[in-house]
A and B are shown apart, each in its own frame.
Chain A
């Protein structure tokens, strides 16, 4: 059955009760990953605005919690099949930041001579497969890989690419074959600037559930993501539509308006209720140092 939006946050009593189920170390690790993604991507934004990045870039500022939480759960790794707006997965699963920097700067000494750019990040070291550029085609490809390798896989789509017919057809296939795919839809409600309500009336969780997949729709609070994914037994597909907020343009580094929601900041404020601020500041200082070092002297 499809399960719908979890409301988690500081104003919800359920939050405090369930936080104890998630180890504090995991919560802090997730925050660290989120902060690292944010820090790196804001540097990318700045470098892009300085004109030093000349290729199209797809930033996920505002959506960090999803990759951060999933990478904390799968700390030993999982094959990743993503598309554009996936710097977050490369970073949070432990990809080499200097390699990603070089890729964005189109330097030829990267693993693929800059061929993938921002849109098709790949990495052998973290088992992240490249993307063709056809939105959503990574989902049937991930299904085939999992089928043959008999391994769980992570497939990432957006609320637009999930509309591709071959993604929907693959939902039926992974349900029928009980393929252990964690299919995450990062639903920022925008296809470039066209909202979901303009494009369709169906809901991914309902559709995926109808195909026979376990499916949920949740917000992008780490707790919500953790609670659904952590118990997954990997004996069949798990489809999750995660409502999130994109802060910057679809492509490029601009911003139209101040975002209505910032999960990173909200999460930090929640953590500060039971973690000393010094602890958070130490994390941030360490990440600042690491990311600044990557971008210094480019």
Chain B
């Protein structure tokens, strides 16, 4: 892997600015770190636009900019919890513009998840805010190839907004997050968002314990596209655990579980964030299911299979 995800996003953004006259908008983009190294450090570049601390208006300005579909517009929401403000015009104008008025509004939104000691708003993964709205394409890319796929798909269509649900925990990883199928598996894990990292290590730990589990990764959320072989694998073992970094209740995982249950007839369970606000202290935090939590859940499900 020659570049990590953060470097890949930075370089791709640089190419888009230079070669496609792309606009990058957001708050504090040019501050220390350049959004965790994902924004090219072009000082005073006219295409990198610092917006005021006005999240609702900022989202609207980005949507208006994207009505010029001849050039890419990338809107950066530095913490997904900020989507509660920023999503208003994205969900209610950009998502509907093509369907209602025939006017494309192909805004690219980079909504970045984070967790661990960052508090009740900046913490956690909140894609479910936008997943329920028709007219929005949502991806949760955790690797360079997935980010590239999402962007390519966006430009292929170039009519609707695309949400890239990134997660800071994936920016620096130097290993792959591919699907890993094991012969004669007893169970399947379908992992979303940053839970894919812990799910990968959970699968490895389970293997050491002699428990054979398939691992599937889902990043094409809306429109929903199943990983290759998932449905067949569930039909074979009759079970699946969905692991998510969003909330377990009323989050994407329960909807996905319902769909999988209808499609396969299997027993589908979910494991995500508990229904509580995240504080700053370790004792009050609300984190993506850990490796041991995933392992315990799988063992428990297999026991009662």
Q: List 21 A-B contacts (CB under 8 A).
A: A116-B100, A120-B101, A122-B101, A129-B101, A134-B88, A134-B89, A137-B60, A140-B61, A141-B63, A141-B93, A142-B64, A143-B57, A143-B60, A145-B68, A147-B64, A147-B65, A148-B73, A169-B57, A172-B54, A173-B52, A173-B61
Residues in A with CB closer than 8 Å to B56 are 140, 165-166, 169
B68 contacts A140, C-beta separation under 8 Å: no
CB of A111 within 8 Å of the partner chain? yes
CB of B256 within 8 Å of the partner chain? no
B52 contacts A143, C-beta separation under 8 Å: no
A145 contacts B65, C-beta separation under 8 Å: yes
| Known A140-B57, A148-B73, A166-B54; contact A134-B92, beta-carbon cutoff 8 A | yes
CB of A18 within 8 Å of the partner chain? no
Give the bracket for the number of chain A residues in contact with chain B.
Answer: 20 to 34
CB of A133 within 8 Å of the partner chain? yes
Q: Shortest distance in angstroms between B227's beta carbon and chain A's nearest beta carbon? A: 35
* Selected contact of B68 from candidates A133, A139, A149, CB within 8 Å: A149
Q: Shortest distance in angstroms between A135's beta carbon and chain B's nearest beta carbon? A: 12
CB of B151 within 8 Å of the partner chain? no
Residues in A with CB closer than 8 Å to B67 are 129, 141, 144-145
Main secondary structure of the interface of B (DSSP, over half): helix
B61 contacts A141, C-beta separation under 8 Å: yes
Q: Which residue of A lies closest to B60 (CB)?
A: A140
* Selected contact of A148 from candidates B23, B58, B92, B103, CB within 8 Å: B23
Q: Which residue of B lies closest to A113 (CB)?
A: B100
CB of B143 within 8 Å of the partner chain? no
A130 contacts B97, C-beta separation under 8 Å: yes
CB of A253 within 8 Å of the partner chain? no
* Selected contact of B64 from candidates A115, A130, A143, CB within 8 Å: A143
CB of B118 within 8 Å of the partner chain? no
CB of B49 within 8 Å of the partner chain? yes
In the assembly, what is the distance between CA of A146 and CA of B23, in Å? 13
Q: Which of B79-125 contact A (CB under 8 A)?
A: 88-89, 92-93, 96-97, 99-103
CB of A290 within 8 Å of the partner chain? no
| Known A133-B92, A166-B54, A173-B52; contact A144-B102, beta-carbon cutoff 8 A | no
A112 contacts B61, C-beta separation under 8 Å: no
Residues in A with CB closer than 8 Å to B66 are 144
In the assembly, what is the distance between CA of A189 and CA of B119, in Å? 43
B100 contacts A144, C-beta separation under 8 Å: no
Residues in B with CB closer than 8 Å to A115 are 99-101
Residues in A with CB closer than 8 Å to B103 are 122, 124, 129-130
Give the interface centre of B64, B65, B97, B101 by most chain A CB atoms within 10 Å.
B64
Q: Shortest distance in angstroms between A154's beta carbon and chain B's nearest beta carbon? A: 13
B101 contacts A144, C-beta separation under 8 Å: no
Q: Shortest distance in angstroms between A153's beta carbon and chain B's nearest beta carbon? A: 9
Residues in B with CB closer than 8 Å to A111 are 102
B64 contacts A144, C-beta separation under 8 Å: yes
Q: Shortest distance in angstroms between A210's beta carbon and chain B's nearest beta carbon? A: 15
A120 contacts B100, C-beta separation under 8 Å: yes
Residues in A with CB closer than 8 Å to B71 are 148
